[in-house]
Amino acid sequence: MRILLVGNPNVGKSVIFNRLTGANVICSNYPGTTVELIKGHMRVAGERVELRDVPGTYSLEASSPAEEVAVRMLEDGDVIINVVDATNLERSLNLTLQLLKRRIPMIVALNLWDETRHTGVQINTEKLAGILGVPCVPTTAITGEGVKNLVDRIPEAGISALDYDDADRWQKIGEIVGDVQKVTHRHHTALDKLEDASVRPFSGMLIALVVLAGAFEAIRFIGEGLIGYVFEPLFETVWAPVMMRLSALLGGGGVVHDLLIGRLVEGNIDFGESFGLLTTGLFVPIGAVLPYVFAFYLALSFLEDTGYLPRLAVMMDGLMHRLGLHGLAIVPTMLGLGCNVPGALSARIMESRKERFITATLMAISVPCMAQIAMIVGLVGEGGAKALLAVFGTLFLVWLGLGMLMNRIIKGESPEILIDVPPYRIPYWKGLFKKLWMRVVWFLREAVPWVMVGVFVVNVLYTLRVIDFIGGLAAPVITGILGLPLEAVGGLVVGFLRKDVAVGMLVPLHLTVKQAVVASVVLAMYFPCVATFAVLIKEFGIRDMLKAAAIMVVSAFTVGGLLNVIL
């Protein structure tokens, strides 16, 4: 038997899924799409059955890829658990009535039951069940209240005999709500006032700045801590000796040695600069990227589960629409500040191909990762706040200007944001960490192989002297248009492999403040690192990646040349 968990976004569906399935879940893409599908197993009346978490949808009249997948998944379901927001019964019943017409056995979970008491909502569940013709069970997923009763009553799931005309659906919903629900007055609490302040223009922006500053500080602390105290020591003390033995077996040099181990730096392996498949190829995604991925997904999951992320999306929606996006594009942008790899992967949340392309391209061009930001501060910091403002202010203006330009040039739709703004809630920690675990495993499965392929290809190009040849061709442009010393060519070429390492290579050149600003901006813009590059090829294909790369190169050298003239 296959059970489908169906409901609007932000009704606690994922928390119920976590309660029902435990730890053994599978996260994958629905066939032929980039929409995420999560499935697990549970026991009903002693029988092991499959449970699928259907993408959140407000209606079966699909208006986005996720909703299209939700409709298609209904064809494979034997039983539906319709998760309803008990505090917003009228909106939720729109989907419920459409599901009843599918004539699939169904049971309704009236979730967020604890909040009905706080909001003054009273629902007669027996009367509602009688009208709908299917069982209705109150649940509070975050505490587990009612979940056992829900499971026990799944065998009672029935096919409703309720009949109505689709043209009169909302009238029917109004009649049902009037019969079964009573709302009493209550005064606003401090939490209610905070919720209201979070979406007002002035107070909402101040709250957003405080929340994001706190989140980035936590991410930096966790990410750097994991790198400095866990992953770097593991690679240096455990993996490096193994690689040195393999290096000795391979004779310390040669084509195979350079491809697998890379070039030795002063007789030792440098995981940041050797660029071997088994050294840098593993260290970049696991030792340098994974810690920030973990920290960002932890922060992102917390902001999702508390109910703040939808408010941030609403706050950013007006600005994002000018770039051909909507408010949820803030998620890939935030992830990109930690590491561009998860930022590129999370562009999948955007509905249209146009939105996904603009989101990923803007992130790769004008959103430096945390490691690169740290190196830029070290390189440009001597110039003071003005120099730093010149770098990051330029990147912000590029983000705005280039986004507006691509919105006009690139064909395709930019749908409106359709998102529910739930009340603030305390996260269900077990569910949060399970979601974090699934995202980290997904990253390792999706990104690591492509990063290693990217490192391998670049290493082959290095071995064949192709990159040295390209560097020689680019030298006149770098010294002429950008006004940088010839020695900076090496750093800009290495930027394709590791941008933070490339910035670090410019430090010994003793650049002027102007040269440091120009070099930092160009390095941030002109190409993503090999890890991001590999993931973008996987997500968009070679053709669209070449388009994005052309935009990156042209915009980077144009902006760099203008900065050289202006400064």
Nearest to 73 by CA among 54, 56, 57: 54
pLDDT at 364 over 50: yes
- Average pLDDT over every residue of 121-132: 93
On the question of pLDDT at 129 being above 90, the answer is yes
Q: What is the pLDDT of residues 505-518, one digit of tens each?
A: 676 567 888 888 88
pLDDT at 40 over 50: yes
The per-residue pLDDT of the chain, averaged, comes to: 82
pLDDT of residue 451: 65
What pLDDT was estimated at residue 494? 65
Measure the N-to-C terminal CA separation of the chain; round to a whole number of Å: 68
Neighbour count for residue 388 (Cβ, 10 Å): 16
13 pLDDT higher than 60 = yes
Domain boundaries, the chain: 2-183, 203-566
Spatial separation of the C-alpha atoms in residues 323 and 317, rounded to whole Å:
10
Q: Report the residue count for the chain.
A: 567
What local confidence, expressed as pLDDT, does residue 34 receive? 46
Comparing 129-143, 207-221, 265-279, the range with the smallest average pLDDT is: 265-279
* Contact call for residues 298 and 520 (beta carbons, < 8 A): no
Flag whether pLDDT at 33 surpasses 50: no
The band of 454, judged by pLDDT with boundaries at 50, 70 and 90, is: low
Q: Mean of the pLDDT values across residues 315-337?
A: 80
Query: What pLDDT score was predicted for residue 176?
Result: 93
The token duo for 276 is 């071997």
Tens of pLDDT, residue by residue over 536-566, are 887 788 888 888 888 988 998 899 899 988 8
pLDDT at 321 over 60: yes
User: Residue 154's pLDDT is what?
Assistant: 93
Residue 2, beta-bridge partner list: 50
Domain 2-183 has CATH 3.40.50.300: yes
Which residues have a Cβ under 8 Å from the Cβ of 437 and sit 6 or more positions away? none
Six token digits for residue 208: 């957003």
Q: What is the mean pLDDT of residues 208-216?
A: 85
Buried b (16+ CB within 10 A) or exposed e, 38-58: bbbebebeeeebbbbbbbbbb
| pLDDT confidence bin for 189, thresholds 50/70/90 | confident
Q: Is the pLDDT of residue 491 over 70?
A: no
Token output for 499: 């941008």
Which DSSP letter does residue 64 get? S
Tell me which of 74-78, 196-200, 527-531 is least confident: 527-531
Provide the pLDDT for residue 155. Answer: 93
pLDDT of residue 30: 47
Per cent of the chain over pLDDT 70 is 88
Residue 426 has pLDDT above 90, yes or no: no
Helical residues (DSSP H) of 36-144, grouped into ranges: 65-73, 89-100, 113-119, 125-132
pTM: predicted TM-score of the whole model, two decimal places: 0.65
pLDDT over 90 (residue 98): yes
In whole angstroms, how far apart are CA 264 and each of 242, 432, 532? 14, 42, 25
Q: How confident is the model at residue 311 (pLDDT cuts 50, 70, 90)?
A: confident
User: pLDDT confidence of 233, banded at 50, 70, 90?
Assistant: very high
pLDDT tens digit sequence for 138-185:
998 877 788 889 999 999 999 988 888 888 899 999 999 999 999 887
Band (pLDDT 50/70/90 cuts) for residue 416 is: low
